[in-house]
Amino acid sequence: MKYDSQLVELKNLLPTAKNILIALPVNANIDQLAAGLSLFLTLQALGKEVSVVCESEIKVGQAHLFGIDHVQKNLPSTGGGNLTLTLEGVAASDKTVPALEKLDWYAENNNLNLVFHVTAGQTFQPVRIVPKYQGSGFNLIFVVGAVNLNALGNTYLQNQQAFSGTHVINIDNQAANTSFGQTNILDVQASSVSEVLVNLITDLGLAFDGDSASNLLAGIFEVTGNLTNQKAGADTFMTVANCLRVGGKKPIDSASGKPAYDWSALMPAQPASTPVVPQVQSVSDFAMPPVVDSNMASSNQNQPSPEELPVGEGVTSETIEPEWLTPKIFKGSSLG
């Protein structure tokens, strides 16, 4: 278990936690979004009430992540705690409200009506009304990919009471992280926060499905340049293998419909071969064959070559000697 020692307290708190918040930094990238959404899907599968908050707009290149439609800009009403309605643009610099004489409220059916009594001659017109929940409505808050709480933007700045009274789990791989959580899962050796999430889910003994794994693969491939840069180490490839085993899909380019990575980039570069160009010889480099007289060639064809003669005999004359044609008589004594 890679993070087992950091998870002792969280393992005790998680089973009884019902309402969980996942907070992402301002301008979260694909890696941070993928990690947060994978955690969302995993905890939701446990039957938890889970909310994901990031105040930034979702970009087109991030829309393919599973669960992306669950990301909210503000803390949801399900967060519980104290509700504050902020009326923007009605207060003066001295923190008074000149146009407001008093405030009443009354219930009507299932509704609560707030009555703002306006001072005569004044205009009371809020620019915007923003609801905010504060307090201990959440049992756990997971902060994913933020170096500190201020990196969450208004998610933290407008809801500091919610963070101050809740157990915060800080998950990150950045060296600049300030270890602000009650539980800190920091791994600066990890290629990405998505890689950290794969190990975290495993260490917590949670179910890991294909959608969560596909998100995490998208985060890992994005940060590591499709597994080609120095951030991708042996542990990264093991993490990718674990994601593929549970049904995770490698990222696909939405424009071409083809894999968004090129495995040929992982192969060592081959030196360019120089084509061999045959050298053209000049006419003078070729030897002309000798010219043979046709009559001489015809007569030579009827003569045995030296190789066809008996061993030890040479070609001494082309004329047949007369004694060769005379019968020879051999006596027995001459054979002795």
Does the pTM exceed 0.85? no
pLDDT at 266: 43
Q: Tens of pLDDT along 20-78?
A: 999 999 999 999 999 999 999 999 999 999 999 999 887 777 778 888 989 998 887 64
What does the domain layout of the chain look like in residue ranges?
A: 4-84+131-207, 90-125
**Structure-token pair, residue 206:** 């949670």
Distance, in Å, from the CA atom of 17 to the CA atom of 7, rounded to the nearest integer, reads 15
CB-neighbour burial class of residue 147 (10 A; exposed 0-12, middle 13-18, buried 19+):
middle
Q: Are 224 and 191 in contact (CB under 8 A)?
A: yes
CB-neighbour burial class of residue 53 (10 A; exposed 0-12, middle 13-18, buried 19+):
buried
Q: Is domain 4-84+131-207 given the CATH code 3.30.70.270 in the classification?
A: no
Q: Tens of pLDDT along 80-126?
A: 566 778 888 999 988 899 899 999 999 998 899 999 999 998 888 99
Residue 142 banded pLDDT, cuts 50, 70, 90: very high
Task: Taking residues 233-245, report their average pLDDT.
Answer: 91
Residue 273 banded pLDDT, cuts 50, 70, 90: low
**Structure-token pair, residue 258:** 């083809």
pLDDT at 182: 95
Distance, in Å, from the CA atom of 99 to the CA atom of 92, rounded to the nearest integer, reads 10
pLDDT at 113: 92
In the chain, the amino acid numbered 19 is N
Distance, in Å, from the CA atom of 293 to the CA atom of 299, rounded to the nearest integer, reads 10
Q: Across the chain, what does the average pLDDT equal?
A: 81
Distance of CA 39 to the CA centre of its chain: 17
Residue 79 banded pLDDT, cuts 50, 70, 90: very low
Q: Tens of pLDDT along 146-167?
A: 999 999 999 999 888 888 878 9
Q: Tens of pLDDT along 318-332?
A: 566 666 666 666 665
**Structure-token pair, residue 221:** 């491939």
**Has residue 298 got a pLDDT over 60?**
no
**Has residue 264 got a pLDDT over 50?**
no
**Mean pLDDT lowest for which of 6-15, 30-39, 40-49, 260-269?**
260-269
Q: Are 18 and 48 in contact (CB under 8 A)?
A: yes
pLDDT at 263: 47
**Has residue 290 got a pLDDT over 80?**
no
**Has residue 128 got a pLDDT over 70?**
yes
Q: Please, which residues bridge with residue 70 across strands?
A: none
